């Protein structure tokens, strides 16, 4: 009875006291405005989100909170608030600008493009009409291999009737390309590359001759990858690559028998090609990509399937990773290979990336066929590091070092028995410098 | 102790039964007093007190109370609360134009212009020739540099009020932004007939010459 009476008294007291007591309510509007004017971004981000959770959800609150997140380089978090701000006041140039930059800085080029082309022309003009002129990129550098030394060390030294080996000495590489948006939903990436490999061919025919000669392999490669945004989240990009290869036989002999064994003199020309495409799905923190490719290298056909996850755990490019698993199949063999890359911001304008690839990825493509490894030698692993210097939003410089363990092979005919392939490992090191800039 | 609790229990039951009836009887006069007090406080810029007295007699189903609280909260700078009260008023009287015009005050103060546009478009469905709303919509789109849309609204009020200064001036500036200089010039000159020496119209004419 006592308990019931106390409970009823309590209920009665509440009923007649009303429901409006909100003692000590914070004036979020004044507080966030003050923090915004004082540029106290840490406090503003916390207070702004607290206010929004309390129901003080409106344009100015979202813009202030979005700006605070932007200044703290929490670009994905900023984009959430700025998208909402634009729901309250669509077409607002300040919020659109911050959102555009948030998308750009968090690696969401497709969303940035989508936003831009849905904005008034006056706004695009204020940004210098990005997308009107293409983005250009250029990359070049040499590569060196210790192939000759490793061959000398590991070559078959026992008696045989015939041996033949092709060695990589060094090479040069030049890539030039453009990225151009074609309206809201389409874009095109086109590139040309030139590769010049210096190689050595050695043939030893016991009792007849021993020949050695250096020669060049020239490759002219043409790349084209249009892209189509099916929605704000899904992008499809077919890709094509034609590799025009020419090389000459450096060996000549006055002995007709030897000449028959080493092949005819003259230049050999053929085309390698690759075709396929990828589908990407963009979310705030993850970009998932699946690709499928057909690659023909010197009459050997390869089918490649690739899946990639690009993750930005903090919603920005201060720390990111890319995990790729690929399956490669030829008529002779099949295997899986994987690449793990981690990138992070080292200092304000400087980013660093390291990556490791395990498994044989010869005769396969990377980055939607932007690179095709059409050299004959198998690959054991690859270690790579890259430094990116962000000079400005429109200019990036990079240097890359790549160390690749490859498998050299020597065709060897013993005195008796079947011919053998003698394999040994060698290291190929590549140094590349690159530049990417947006034309205005 | 037991008897004291019994007395309290009895008193509570009696109060619970009697008080609603008594309150109902006093409701009307209490409401009048509350509104009267709220005006007194408002004139002294005591908006919190004005809100407080109305909240004491607050009834969720009262259009008048919600509308008044919407206004007082707006004056007090409590825009979220103000918009909520105006929204309640609109729910209670779906044809109300005044509540929609009221809603535009806090919504525009916090920058929610899309909500303002939505409410203004609702007003135009009820009253397509509403001067204020057409003028304000024109101004919003003018501010967004969407001059074609702005022109649609300014043209309407100019047709309805051909010698209205604001209608002439804003239509003139919109023509100017659309590159229709001849039409802009005519309207700037007419605006000067309405307000001789007007600085904005003079500036417009100066830019055309």
Residues B197 and B151 in one domain: yes
Instruction: Answer yes or no: do B118 and B59 share one domain.
Output: yes
Q: Which two tokens stand for residue B44?
A: 């002294």
Shared domain for B123 and B151, answered yes or no, is: no
User: Is residue B14, in this structure, part of any structural domain at all?
Assistant: no
B31 and B111 housed in the same domain: yes
* Domain finish residue from B97, B127, B157: B127
For residue A235, the distance in angstroms to the closest alpha carbon of chain B comes to 30
Asked if residues A409 and A422 have their Cβ atoms less than 8 Å apart, the reply is yes
- Mean pLDDT per 10-residue section of chain A, whose length is 440 residues: 40 35 62 94 96 93 96 93 94 91 87 81 74 87 94 85 90 94 85 95 82 91 94 92 91 77 82 96 92 93 96 89 96 94 93 96 94 90 96 92 95 87 94 88
How many Cβ contacts (< 8 angstroms) between chains A and B?
A: 58
Closest approach of A29 to chain B, Cα-based (Å): 9
Tell me whether residues B146 and A120 touch, CB distance under 8 A. Answer: yes
DSSP structure class, residue A134: P
Which pLDDT score is estimated for A23? 37
Domain assignment present for B208: yes
Cβ pair B114:A63 closer than 8 A = no
Paired tokens of A233: 């989240």
Q: Shortest CA distance to A62 belongs to which of A42, A37, A89, A39?
A: A89
Contact A61 B110 (CB under 8 A): yes
- Within-domain flag for B19: no
pTM for the structure as a whole: 0.72
Please answer yes or no on whether A5 and B80 come within 8 Å at the CB atom: no
Contact of A50 with A64, CB cutoff 8 Å: no
Contact B99, B70 (CB under 8 A): yes
Look at residues B94, B127, B160 and tell me which one is the last residue of a structural domain. B127
Residues B84 and B52 in one domain: yes
Residue in B12, B55, B115 closest to A88 by CB: B115
Considering the domain architecture, whether residues B40 and B96 belong to the same structural domain is answered as: yes
Q: How many domains does chain B have?
A: 2
> What domains can you pick out in chain A, each with its CATH number?
25-105 (1.25.40.10), 135-438 (2.40.160.60)
Domain assignment present for B139: no
- Asked whether residue B54 is assigned to any structural domain, the reply reads yes
Contacting residues of B for A50, CB less than 8 Å apart: none
Chain B residues with CB under 8 Å of a chain A CB are 5, 8-9, 12, 15-16, 19, 55-56, 58, 77, 79-80, 107, 110-115, 144-146
Using an 8 Å CB-CB cutoff, list chain A residues near B12: 8-9, 12
Q: Which residues pair with A130 in a beta bridge?
A: A133
Q: Which residue has the tokens 């000079």?
A: A391
- End position of a domain, from candidates B59, B93, B127: B127
**B120 and B152 co-located in one domain:** no
Contact criterion met (CB below 8 Å) for A163 and A413: yes
Q: Are residues B115 and B38 part of one domain?
A: yes
> Do both B172 and B106 map to the same domain?
no
Report the residue count for chain B.
209
Q: Do B110 and B156 lie in a common domain?
A: no
* CATH number, domain containing residue B174: 1.25.40.10
Q: Crossing angle of helices B47-56/B63-75, nearest 10°?
A: 160
Closest CA to A399 of A356, A357, A358, A352: A352
Contacts of A13 in chain B (CB under 8 A): none
Interchain pair B77, A29: CB under 8 A? yes
Do B32 and B114 belong to one domain? yes
Structure ipTM over 0.90, yes or no: no
Are B145 and A88 within 8 A, CB to CB? no
Residue of A nearest to B107 (CA): A58
Full pLDDT tens readout for chain B, 209 residues: 556 666 666 666 655 655 565 556 566 788 999 999 999 999 999 999 999 999 999 999 999 999 999 999 999 988 989 999 999 999 999 999 999 999 999 999 999 999 999 999 999 999 999 999 999 999 999 998 899 999 999 999 999 999 999 999 999 999 999 999 999 999 999 999 999 999 999 999 999 97
| A 266-295 residues inside an 8 A Cβ radius of B | none
Minimal-distance CA residue of chain A relative to B4: A2
Quick check: is B142 in a domain? no
What is the distance between the alpha carbons of residues A80 and A51, in angstroms, rounded to a whole number?
A: 15
Per-residue pLDDT, A27: 83
B111 and B163 inside one domain: no
Of A313, A294, A312, A404, the closest CA to residue A358 belongs to: A404
pLDDT computed for residue A297 by the predictor:
92
Answer whether B145 sits within 8 Å of A2, measured CB to CB.
Answer: no
Report the residue of A58, A81, A87, A120 to disrupt the B interface, i.e. the one with the largest count of B CBs within 10 Å: A58
Q: What is the pLDDT of residue B7?
A: 67
Chain B residues within an 8 Å CB radius of A91: 144, 146
- A208-211 long-range contacts (CB < 8 A, ≥24 apart) are A208/A255, A208/A257, A208/A258, A209/A253, A209/A255, A209/A258, A211/A251, A211/A253, A211/A258, A211/A262
pLDDT computed for residue A5 by the predictor: 43
Q: Kindly state whether residue B16 falls inside one of the protein's structural domains.
A: no
Query: Is residue B133 in a domain?
Result: no
Task: Tell me the residue range of the domain where B78 lies.
Answer: 26-127
Contacts B56 to A, Cβ<8 Å: 18
């Amino acid at each position: 009875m006592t308990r019931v009476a106390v409970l009823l008294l309590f209920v009665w007291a509440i009923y007649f006291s009303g429901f409006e007591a909100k003692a000590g309510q914070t004036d979020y509007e004044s507080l966030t405005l003050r923090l915004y004017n004082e540029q106290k971004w840490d406090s503003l981000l916390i207070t702004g989100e607290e206010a929004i959770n309390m129901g003080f959800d409106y344009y100015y609150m979202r813009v202030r909170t979005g700006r605070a997140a932007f200044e703290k380089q929490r670009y994905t978090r900023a984009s959430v608030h700025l998208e909402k701000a634009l729901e309250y006041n669509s077409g607002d140039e300040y919020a659109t600008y911050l959102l555009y930059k948030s998308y750009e800085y968090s690696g969401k080029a497709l969303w940035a493009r989508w936003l831009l082309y849905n904005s008034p022309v006056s706004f695009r003009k204020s940004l210098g009409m990005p997308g009107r002129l293409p983005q250009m990129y250029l990359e070049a550098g040499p590569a060196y291999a210790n192939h000759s030394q490793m061959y000398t060390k590991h070559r078959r030294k026992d008696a045989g009737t015939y041996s033949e080996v092709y060695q990589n000495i060094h090479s040069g590489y030049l890539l030039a390309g453009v990225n151009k948006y074609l309206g809201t939903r389409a874009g095109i990436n086109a590139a040309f590359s030139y590769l010049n490999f210096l190689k050595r061919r050695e043939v030893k025919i016991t009792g007849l001759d021993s020949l050695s000669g250096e020669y060049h392999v020239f490759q002219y490669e043409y790349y084209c990858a249009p892209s189509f945004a099916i929605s704000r989240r899904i992008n499809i990009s077919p890709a094509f690559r034609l590799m025009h290869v020419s090389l000459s036989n450096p060996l000549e002999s006055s002995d007709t028998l030897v000449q028959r064994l080493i092949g005819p003199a003259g230049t050999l020309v053929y085309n390698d090609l690759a075709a396929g495409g990828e589908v990407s799905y963009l979310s705030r923190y993850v970009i998932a990509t699946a690709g499928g490719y057909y690659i023909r290298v010197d009459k050997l056909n390869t089918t490649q399937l690739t899946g990639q996850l690009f993750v930005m755990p903090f919603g920005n490019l201060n720390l990111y990773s890319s995990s790729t698993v690929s399956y490669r199949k030829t008529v002779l063999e099949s295997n899986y290979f994987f690449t793990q890359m981690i990138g992070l911001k080292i200092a304000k304008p400087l980013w660093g990336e390291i990556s490791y690839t395990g498994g044989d990825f010869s005769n396969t493509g990377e980055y939607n066929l932007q690179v095709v490894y059409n050299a004959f030698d198998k690959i054991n692993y690859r270690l790579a590091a890259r430094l990116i210097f962000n000079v400005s939003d429109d200019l990036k410089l990079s240097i890359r070092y790549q160390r690749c363990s490859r498998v050299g092979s020597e065709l060897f005919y013993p005195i008796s028995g079947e011919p053998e392939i003698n394999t040994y490992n060698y290291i190929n090191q590549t140094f590349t410098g690159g530049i990417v800039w947006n034309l205005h | 102790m037991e008897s004291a609790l019994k007395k309290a229990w009895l008193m509570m039951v009696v109060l619970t039964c009697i008080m609603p009836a008594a309150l109902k009887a006093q409701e009307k006069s209490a409401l009048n007093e509350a509104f009267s007090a709220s005006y007194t406080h408002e004139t002294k810029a005591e908006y919190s007190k004005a809100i407080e007295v109305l909240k004491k007699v607050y009834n969720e189903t009262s259009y008048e109370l919600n509308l008044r609280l919407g206004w007082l909260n707006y004056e007090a700078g409590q825009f979220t609360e103000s918009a909520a009260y105006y929204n309640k008023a609109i729910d209670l009287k779906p044809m109300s134009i005044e509540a929609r015009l009221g809603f535009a005050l806090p919504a525009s103060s916090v920058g929610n212009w899309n909500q303002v546009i939505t409410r203004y478009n609702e007003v135009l469905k009820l009253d397509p020739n509403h001067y204020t709303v057409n003028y304000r919509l024109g101004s919003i789109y003018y501010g967004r540099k969407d001059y074609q849309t702005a022109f649609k609204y300014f043209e309407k009020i100019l047709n309805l009020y051909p010698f209205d200064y604001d209608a002439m001036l804003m239509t003139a500036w919109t023509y100017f932004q659309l590159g229709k200089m001849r039409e802009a010039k005519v309207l700037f000159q007419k605006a000067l007939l309405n307000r001789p020496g007007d600085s904005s119209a003079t500036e417009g004419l100066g830019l055309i010459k």
